[in-house]
């Protein structure tokens, strides 16, 4: 029977999620990749236990994570049941709904029908009575925002979730959603968005600034740009890389000569900071205190341990920040 490391909470920094009372680890673990039916269960188990042994309490899922959709929740549910059940109250478990899940007109987006039915399915796969955070996964132009926010509020009111979250929203829509959820007195605390040195969308669409102003947390996914912000591809494309084994989210064509030159320059800067490129990329996201937590993925336990080091050095000089911008943001 698994016994968690007694020193696990010494390994991690925890931040309040916006103005809420909930604390999240600076580094959280996402099950977007490597937890589908095509992955080895023993490795999934090892990844999750390594994460928890090193202070990662937050495990992030969605209804469609796989392949097949739903399989990541199913496998994590087994890990909870067989290894982590004694630690349930020390875990933050999140899931989402809003992408395709089943055939017909009710299998996606933001309707009350889809969100609440999907949450019930997620809870069955996970074997849980509730999740800690339930997100709407993406903005839905076909459903009134009031309906979607009402469904999130109902999920919390019914006890199936403790907190509500939004994923892939922009700043102006966040303002409207916050007002609606405030009327429901729903504890909406967090935004999940793609954010990295290479992807500044939340800086450009008002999400980052608005979340700070409203006192809402941000958790960043794809902080390593699907592996580009590592030294993984500096000498070619490895046979066991995500490009070769999956290819859905990062394609070989993305590694243009210009992009590789950017990666090499960033890698050189990281070395001056006595960090790996991955560590610097994660540290950069956390440097100004606006982002609560960074979601990492992993295929090997050593990657988790290495990435956790990023939280040890999140201070950047103005010169370093300017150099990162000059390297990574295309000249107009």
Mark residue 168 as left, alpha or beta (left: phi above 0; alpha: psi -120 to 50; beta: remaining). Answer: left
Which band of pLDDT confidence, cut at 50, 70 and 90, is reported for residue 331? low
Given a cut of 60, whether residue 313 has pLDDT beyond it is yes
Query: pLDDT tens digits for 113-149?
Result: 999 999 999 999 999 999 999 999 999 999 999 999 9
Q: What is the rounded distance in angstroms from the CA atom of residue 309 to the CA atom of residue 74?
A: 30
Given a cut of 90, whether residue 232 has pLDDT beyond it is no
Q: Where are the alpha helices (DSSP H) in the chain?
A: 41-53, 71-79, 112-126, 145-157, 171-183, 201-204, 207-214, 242-245, 257-272, 277-286, 301-308, 318-328
pLDDT of 1: 85
pLDDT of 256: 82
Given a cut of 70, whether residue 252 has pLDDT beyond it is no
Residue ranges and CATH numbers for the domains of the chain are 8-327 (3.20.20.100)
Q: What is the rounded distance in angstroms from the CA atom of residue 52 to the CA atom of residue 42?
A: 16
Specify the DSSP element, H or E, that contains 219.
Answer: strand 217-221
pLDDT of 231: 86
Q: What is the largest CA-CA distance in the chain?
A: 57
Beta bridge partners of 97: 136
Contact criterion met (CB below 8 Å) for 126 and 73? yes
């Amino acid at each position: 029977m698994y016994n968690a490391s007694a020193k696990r909470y010494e390994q991690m920094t925890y931040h309040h999620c916006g103005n809420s009372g909930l604390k999240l680890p600076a580094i959280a673990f996402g099950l977007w990749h490597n937890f589908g039916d095509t992955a080895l269960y023993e490795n999934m188990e090892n990844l999750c236990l390594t994460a928890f042994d090193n202070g990662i309490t937050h495990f992030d899922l969605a209804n469609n994570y796989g392949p097949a959709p739903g399989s990541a929740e199913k496998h994590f549910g087994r890990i909870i049941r067989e290894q982590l059940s004694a630690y349930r109250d020390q875990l933050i478990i999140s899931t989402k709904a809003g992408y395709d899940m089943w055939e017909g007109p009710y299998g996606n987006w933001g309707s009350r029908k889809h969100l609440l039915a999907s949450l019930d399915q997620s809870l069955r796969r996970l074997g849980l009575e509730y999740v800690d955070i339930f997100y709407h996964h993406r903005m839905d132009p076909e459903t009134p925002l009031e309906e979607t926010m009402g469904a999130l509020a109902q999920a919390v009111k019914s006890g199936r979730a403790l907190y509500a979250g939004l994923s892939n929203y922009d700043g102006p829509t966040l303002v409207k959603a916050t007002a609606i959820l405030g009327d429901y007195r729903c504890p909406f605390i967090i935004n999940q968005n793609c954010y990295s040195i290479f992807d500044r969308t939340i800086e450009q669409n008002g999400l980052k600034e608005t979340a700070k102003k409203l006192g809402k947390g941000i958790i960043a996914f794809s902080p390593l740009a699907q592996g580009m912000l590592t030294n993984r591809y500096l000498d070619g494309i490895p046979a066991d890389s995500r490009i070769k084994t999956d290819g859905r989210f990062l394609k070989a064509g993305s590694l243009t000569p210009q992009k590789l030159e950017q990666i090499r320059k960033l890698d050189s800067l990281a070395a001056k900071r006595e960090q790996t490129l991955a560590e610097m990329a994660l540290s950069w996201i956390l440097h100004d205190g606006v982002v609560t937590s960074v979601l990492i993925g992993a295929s090997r336990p050593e990657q988790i341990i290495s990435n956790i080091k990023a939280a040890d050095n999140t201070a950047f000089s103005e010169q370093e920040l300017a150099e990162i911008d000059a390297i990574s943001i295309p000249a107009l």
